[in-house]
């Protein structure tokens, strides 16, 4: 299968939306307000934290706030000086600092960043563990959620055929949906057809 036709190609995964109803968004935004706009999105690897943070940033933007995103890579104990300076320059009450992967930071770097972000109107981070800031949302995964995402990507009929495999994939990747979807990319990529059902599905 051509990469462009693979239903699990990254651009299709990135087009998925976080599963949250309008009512859920209202609750989340109300809770964020209650927490003084300083809070953490918590959850294991591949549970949608980054996606939720990005969508939250977009929603805050529609409310007249200015989201400022800092993404930390695995093992990045402190942000690059240029990235940190660009993020923190001229922060004001209308700015909301979004830090993806805040638990990668060392204690000093986190403390320094948190202090510098006081000038901003908000600070929202993602973390694998609770404790950096009050928890705004805990992301979780399930086989049902994986099945729902697969249904959106390949359609109901093909998703039904895949269904028996999804529980095993979910277990093999310990609930990491990103990893499970990448595994499905490989399975589809092995198909000789330009499009079609998963071999053996």
Nearest 5°: the CA angle 96, 24, 72 is: 40
Q: Print the binding letters for residues 60-99 with other proteins: x by CB under 8 A, - otherwise.
A: ----------------------------------------
Q: How near is the Cβ of 188 to other proteins at its closest, in Å?
A: 9
7, 9, 46, 124: which one contacts other proteins (CB under 8 A)?
9
Residue 185 beta carbon to other proteins: minimum distance, rounded to whole angstroms? 5
d(CA 30, CA 46): 25
Q: Shortest approach of other proteins to residue 165 CB, angstroms?
A: 19
Q: Which residues contact 66 (CB under 8 A, 6 or more apart)?
A: 94, 95, 96
* End-to-end alpha carbon distance in the chain: 15
| Closest CB to other proteins among residues 128, 182 | 182
- Interaction between residue 4 and other proteins (CB under 8 A): yes
- In three-state secondary structure terms, 85 is helix
Interface with other proteins, residue 15, by CB under 8 A:
no
Q: Does 10 bind other proteins (CB under 8 A)?
A: yes
**Beta-strand runs (E) in 33-183:** 38-42, 66-71, 95-100, 122-127, 135-138
Structure tokens at 78: 């402190």
x-or-dash pattern for other proteins, window 161-200, by CB under 8 A? ---------------------x--xx--xx-x--------
Q: At what angle do helices 143-154 and 177-189 cross, to 10 degrees?
A: 40
Near other proteins by CB under 8 A: residue from 3, 80, 94, 108: 3
Residues near other proteins (CB under 8 A) are 1-4, 6, 9-11, 182, 185-186, 189-190, 192
């Amino acid at each position: 299968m051509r990469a462009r036709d693979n239903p699990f190609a990254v651009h299709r995964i990135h087009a998925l939306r976080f599963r949250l109803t309008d009512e859920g968004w209202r609750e989340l935004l109300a809770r964020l307000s209650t927490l003084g706009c300083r809070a953490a999105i918590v959850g294991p690897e591949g549970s949608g934290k980054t996606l939720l943070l990005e969508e939250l940033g977009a929603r805050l933007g529609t409310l007249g706030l200015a989201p400022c995103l800092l993404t930390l890579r695995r093992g990045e104990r402190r942000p690059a000086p240029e990235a940190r300076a660009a993020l923190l320059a001229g922060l004001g009450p209308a700015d909301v600092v979004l830090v993806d992967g805040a638990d990668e930071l060392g204690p000093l770097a986190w403390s320094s960043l948190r202090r510098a972000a006081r000038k901003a109107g908000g600070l929202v981070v993602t973390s694998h563990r609770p404790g950096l800031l009050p928890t705004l949302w805990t992301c979780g995964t399930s086989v049902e959620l994986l099945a729902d995402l697969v249904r959106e990507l390949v359609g109901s009929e093909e998703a039904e055929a895949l269904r028996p495999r999804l529980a095993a994939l979910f277990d093999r990747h310990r609930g990491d949906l990103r990893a499970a979807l990448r595994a499905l990319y490989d399975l589809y990529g092995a198909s000789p057809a330009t499009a079609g059902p998963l071999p053996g599905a």
